[in-house]
Amino acid sequence: MASDPDPVQDFCIPYTPKPDSRRIAQLSSLQQCKNASEANADDFIFSGIKSAGDFKESGFSAMSINSKAFPGLNTLGMSFVRADFDLGGINVPHFHPRATEVAMVLEGKVYCGFVDSANRIYAKVIEKGEVMVFPRGLVHFQMNVGDSPATIYGSFNSQNPGLQRIPAAVFGSGIKDELLKKAFGLSGKQIDEMRRKLKPKEENQS
């Protein structure tokens, strides 16, 4: 039930019609599409990942491309991401609840891995041209271990894969301190410091 529905037409470029417009194909009560005759090649081309985005303190930059950014993906059950790593940059442990990810290294050397439900780790340094798969819903991570910047291209088998970063989910979500102290063996001061670093974007990031 969590997977994307099968498409019922070749494509569906999102379209918001005027109240009196009848020139639409209705996919569902929530999604309306351009008439296929009104689509053109530009609807299926995206040029927004030619260069890296802004880097975070972790030395990591991610540009996620879904149907909101690239309407041509709508209803096709896929999305993708460009991830760039500065020297030593990391993509913290995280998971995608609705998608398997296939990641290909375009430049550099990246330590990649995931942890299965039995807490076994599968990790290796992969280089330019190599690919690793991260099964749906499993925690995974990446770190640049080379002597130059690195770039990864990731593809997801869902239009909306979802994303939960473990540090932010644990320390940035408002879980009671008492539980965190018992779970991680941390002091109140250490938990406060983690909370300051991992507050939601609307609170401490631009």
Asked if residues 57 and 91 have their Cβ atoms less than 8 Å apart, the reply is no
**Joined tokens for residue 74:** 């709508």
Residue written as token pair 């059950």: 77
Binding-site residue ranges for oxalate: 91, 96, 101
Q: Amino acid identity, residue 42?
A: D
List, as residue ranges, the binding site.
91, 94, 96, 101, 140
Largest distance between two CA atoms of the chain:
63
30-33, long-range: CB within 8 Å, 24+ apart, which pairs? Answer: 31/74, 31/75, 33/9, 33/74
Local structure of residue 14 (DSSP, 8 states): B
Annotated binding-site residues for Mn(2+) read: 94, 96, 101, 140
108, 144 in Cβ contact below 8 A? yes
